[in-house]
Structure formats: structure tokens, C-alpha cells
Chains A and B, each alone.
Chain A
Amino acid sequence: MDALVSVKKVVKRYWRGKQAVEVLHNLDLEIPAGQFVALMGPSGSGKTTLLNLIGGLDKPTQGEVIVGGERIDRLSGGQLAKWRSRHVGFVFQFYNLMPTLSAEANVELPLLLTKLSGKQRKANVAAALELVGLTDRRKHKPNELSGGQQQRVAIARAIVADPTLLVCDEPTGDLDRESAEEVLSLLQMLNREQGKTVIMVTHDPKAAEFASRIVHLDKGALVAEPAGVAA
């Protein structure tokens, strides 16, 4: 299977004052298209940093990040923004919905950057909300929805522009067990039925069970995966 994501010899350093802190050390990772990958590891292991690099939110200090055949580490800020809008859907731990907008207006946000007509945008939004089972809540503001519902709105927002890659940072970290399972089942369904490649950072081994592959990071490096785990 062709790799959708290739991370090659990636180093990421941050500066704390005058001191450089290396978060990722010469990291290599390949994720084939259509996989549901759980990135696990202790706090400070570099999971979110790796996720940010793959999602085009940050750039490596060294090395290459190739997604869908494109060297995204070479793109400018503006090019990366456009690339993200076309290819990546993001799901955050705290949903990060716009509090003043209704569920459907939140879902419509990525489509505002496309050339779709108002009618087409509405149709896409309706389809995405139906997929996450929130058609009847489309007019509600985030504070009128439960945590699980808010996260499902965030997932609808992530998929509405039909990206190939879904990047999820602790998507169940703020949810109760029942809501978490609903969200994880939804991500699994999107992976299995819609063919989305899902990369999810999680601390929760139960959440990781929904993934088809689990990648462990520790101190900025990959921990060897057991043979035959990757799907």
C-alpha cells in the first residue's frame, strides 16, 4: 500500500529562551492511505508535535514531511494554509468550535475558503451533520450541546471539505466513556466506510483499540512496533 504520510529523518527543536529543546530526534514514520493510527506515548514524548508536523501546522527543524506526495515542509505559510484547507481535517480535545456560531455555521467554516456556492455549501453541511447524527441540532450553539455532541460537530467540520486525512489530538480526552465511544466509533466508521486516513493522538489504551495501528513514541523517538500490528 502507498504511504499517504512519510516522515523522514525529522528533527524538531524548540527554543526556550537561549536553550534549544529537541522534541523529535531523527524520526521516520510511514502511514499508508486508509489506516487508522493511534499515536500513543507519555506526556512530552512528542506525539502532538509529530501530529502538528503531519497536519501542516508546524514545520520540522530538519527532515522531510511528505503527505499525499507533496513535501509540505517546503511550503510557505500561505501555501500550507491552503494545503490544510484542501487535504486535512482537524479534531481537537476541546472541540474548539466558534461559540457565537450555530452548529451548521461552524461546520460551514472550511467551506467558506472554497469556491462552492451558498447552496452547495448548505448541502455539504447538511450531509456532514447527517453523517455525525446531528441534523436536528444544526441550529444550536455550542453551549447548547453536550461535550459529545460538540465533538461530533467538530468531526463534521473536519470532514465537510472531504479531506483525505483526519488529524485528531486527544479527541476523547474531555469526554465521558459513553460519548468517547460514540466519537471513536464515528472516526472508525469514517476510516472504514469513507476511506479516511485517521491519525489520532491518545493517552487512552481503550481509545487506541479502535485504531488499526498503534504507534508508540517515547522521548521523541518511535518505539519499535510489534511485527504484524500495522494493517
Chain B
Amino acid sequence: MKFLPLVWAGIWRKRGRAILTLLSIVNAFLIFGLLQGLASGIDNVAKESSAAVLMTTSKVSLIEPLPMGHAAQIRNVPGVTAVTPMVIFTGTYRTPTQYVPAIAVNVDEYLAVYPKVKASAAARQAMRETRNGALVGEGIAKSYGWKVGDTVPIKSVLWVNRDGSTTWPLKIVGILPKGASGPGVMVNYDYVDEGRSQAKGTTSFFMLKTVDPKRATQIGAAVDRLFANSPNETRTITARQMAQSQFKQIGDIALVINAIVGAIFFALLFSVGAVMAQSMRERIPELAVLKTLGFTDGGVLGLLLAETLVFCLFCAGIGLGLAEAAFPLVKQSIGFEAAAGPILFAGLGFAVALALISGLPPAVRAMRLQIVDALAGR
């Protein structure tokens, strides 16, 4: 600790250059934090998708509907404990930009499939009693100013109502707490199916709860066997596999992110290395004086490495801190949380590696300085 003032003074020796270098490193770690947070958030979404939950879709394509008659047969497959149809009911509120993510489900079965989604007994009862009832997440309720008892018109982007309009009045019967709200809005399947003018008696897909995640694949295969060679063959996979495959559809995000981060750090390595080398060259007489005063070769090496290390960790701390502060904004724009914890450690690890790789060559040159030559300017 007693050497810290010396290390700190060395860092800020050329204030302007140090600030510019600081900004470039902070910027790199901010980008690193945001991108890695994004990748890790995507990974978390896939991980959080339960392996015990199965998704049954049409074998032909994801958009091909399945008959509701499948539900009773699927429920009889050994190991299946709950089945809900799920119809995409996405729409908008007052303006086309007021997006409302919604699904039509059998609410009791849905809550059995997703026990993390918390709805009070009163809210569940209200859903059973209110045909056009809706359970809405706290976040969306807050942003549109909805409260229990309100009837809100939702314009479906997919379904035309019996009256020929796309507007579906929904009565809000419950607000689901933040973090346990599932999709944005949940409505009764029966209300949507009775009201829509096409695809009646069908569902976009089924979600199934199984007794044991380890048996989920076999149970899925058993479901698919039920409908083999029928006009409506199925494909059943775990929700986790589905999440992973959906993210893969937009490309190998991790690879792209790692490539970008790698390129940034590679460039940073050269710029920080060049700054450190220049700083060392400018300080040759000062370093010779330190050696004259009794600092050993190893001591000078350690001092310069400590400078690079403290500087890189300081900048990385600022960059990662800014990234973490920006994570809530990221969630608002992409819909899921970026994960901060592991990124922080990885970032600090990168900072240490950056410091050692860029700081070591000039530090070794400083270590090898001959006092007499350095003092004489040779």
C-alpha cells in the first residue's frame, strides 16, 4: 500500500494522455459489459426455460395450428401433469406503437405448467367467471395505466372478431406481480376461440408439464407417437430447446459478440501497449533514479506492472459499472435482463490480462535498464 501513491502518480504523469487512454479502455469495457451481458441474458432465458416443460407444435411448421382435440389425448400420456393450449394473441393498445404481448390459454392449466407465474386465488376465480377477463403483468399495467376493473380495447394483429373488427375488449381482473407475471397479458382461450372467425377449435401449440425433466424427451416422443401418420402430426421438444433454437435462428449470437469483443481487445492491446512503452521511454531517467535509490530490478518491474494493472482495473471498473447501470435500459429495449455478476468477474479478468500483456514488455525493458547508461542518456 505504501507504494500506491507512487503508482498513482506514475499513472497520471501525462494527464491528457492518461485521460484519453482511460476513455478508450472505459469505452471498450462498457461495450464488453453490454455485449457480454446481452449474451449472458440470452443464455439465462434459455436456461430458465424449464426442461420439464414441453412444447408440442405441428410437425409441418410452427405456424400450422393443431386441433384442440389433441389436448385430451396428450393429457392421458403417462408423465404429463398439465396441458394448456396457447394461441398467440399479440396486439396493440391505443396506437400501433403501444405493443401488447398477449397469449390465450387455459389459465388454470397454464399456471400449473408455469408455477413461477403467480396469480392469486381471487384472480384465478375472476378469470374463470369473466369470459373476456385478462391477467396483466405489473410492468405493462403500469406503462399503460391499467388497473383491475378496467376494460381495455386490444387490437389483435392476427385475429378478426366475429363483428369483423380486430378489436377485442378485455376486462382486467388481476395484476400479476413483477418477476412472476409470465407473458404481458393472459386471456381465456375460450373467449378468443369463440370470438375469432377463422381457425376455430385449434391452437398455435400446446405447453405441457411433465413429472420429471429427465423423462421429458421420452414423454415428448410418446406424445408425438400418438399422432404419427395422422393429418396433424406433432413435434414435441422441451421449452429450453425451443428457446435455444429460436435464438439460433438469429445467428450464433455468442460467436458474433465474442468476435466483436475480441477485435476490440486486440486493438486495445496495441494502443495500451504503445502508451505504456512511450511512457516507459519518457521515464528512463526517473526509473534510473529509482534504481539508484535502491529499487531492485524486480521492484521496478513490479512498480510498472502495478501501474498498468491499477490503471486497467480502474478503467475496467468504470466501464463495467456503466454497463451495469445501463442494464435496466437494455431490459426495456430487448425484454430480458442482462446478467451482471459473471460479466464483472470476466471483465476484471480481461483487465488483468490486458495489463499484463501490454505492460509486461515495457516493464521488462525498464527492469533491464542499466543505471549508468540511463543516467547518461545512452
Contacts and interface: CB of A to CB of B under 8 A. Distances in A.
A109 B290 contact: yes
Contacts of A113: 293-295, 299
A163 B14 CA distance: 33
B231 to A, nearest CB: 81
A78 B297 CA distance: 7
B285 interface: yes
Nearest to B294: A85
Given A58-B371, A112-B6, A77 B296 contact: yes
Nearest to A113: B294
Contacts of A121: 2
The secondary structure that dominates the B interface is helix
Interface in A123-163: 157
A78 B367 CA distance: 11
Contacts of B372: 52, 57-58
A57 B13 contact: no
Interface in B1-60: 2-3, 5-6, 9-10, 12-13
Contacts of B291: 81
B372 to A, nearest CB: 5
A112 B13 contact: no
Contacts of B160: none
A79 to B, nearest CB: 9
Interface in A53-71: 55, 57-58
Interface residues of B, number: 24
B289 interface: yes
Interface string B265-303: 000000000000000000001100111111111110000
Contacts of A77: 296-297
Interface stretch (A38-46, A94-102, A171-179): A94-102
B356 interface: no
Given A58-B371, A58-B372, A92-B375, A109 B6 contact: yes
Q: In this complex, which of B6, B290, B291, B292 has the most chain A Cβ atoms within 10 angstroms of its Cβ?
A: B292
A161 B166 CA distance: 88
A105 interface: yes
Given A98-B9, A100-B9, A101-B9, A110 B293 contact: yes
Given A99-B13, A101-B9, A105-B9, A84 B298 contact: no
Nearest to A93: B375
A59 B294 CA distance: 16
A59 to B, nearest CB: 10
A36 interface: no
Given A58-B371, A96-B286, A84 B6 contact: no
Nearest to B289: A96
Looking at A57, A121, A157, the one whose CB has the most chain B CB atoms below 10 A away is A57
Contact of B2 (A55, A85, A112): A112
Contacts of A96: 285-286, 289, 375
B12 A85 contact: no
Nearest to A90: B292
Given A105-B5, A112-B3, A100 B10 contact: yes
B371 A101 contact: no
Contacts of A157: 293
A206 interface: no
A81 B290 CA distance: 10
B13 to A, nearest CB: 5
A42 B301 CA distance: 37
B296 A82 contact: yes
Given A57-B371, A96-B285, A109-B290, A81 B9 contact: no
Contacts of B298: 78
Given A57-B371, A98-B286, A101-B9, A109 B296 contact: no
Q: Which of A58, A78, A113, A121 has the most CB of B within 10 A?
A: A113
Given A52-B372, A118-B2, A81 B286 contact: no
Contacts of A58: 371-372
A81 B10 contact: no
Interface in B44-81: none
Contacts of B12: 100
A116 B285 CA distance: 27
Contacts of B285: 96
A110 B294 contact: yes
A168 B296 CA distance: 21
Contacts of A81: 291, 294-297, 299
A110 B10 CA distance: 17
A81 B301 CA distance: 14
Nearest to B14: A100
Nearest to B372: A58
A55 B2 CA distance: 26
A19 to B, nearest CB: 16
Contacts of A99: 13, 286
14 contacts: A52-B371, A55-B292, A57-B375, A58-B371, A81-B295, A81-B297, A84-B293, A86-B294, A98-B289, A100-B12, A101-B9, A105-B5, A105-B6, A112-B3
Interface of A: 52, 55, 57-58, 77-78, 81-82, 84-86, 90, 92, 96, 98-101, 105, 109-110, 112-113, 118, 121, 157
A-B CB proximity, top 6 nearest: A85-B294, A100-B9, A81-B296, A96-B289, A58-B372, A57-B371
Given A57-B372, A82-B294, A109-B6, 5 more contacts: A77-B296, A84-B294, A96-B285, A105-B6, A109-B290
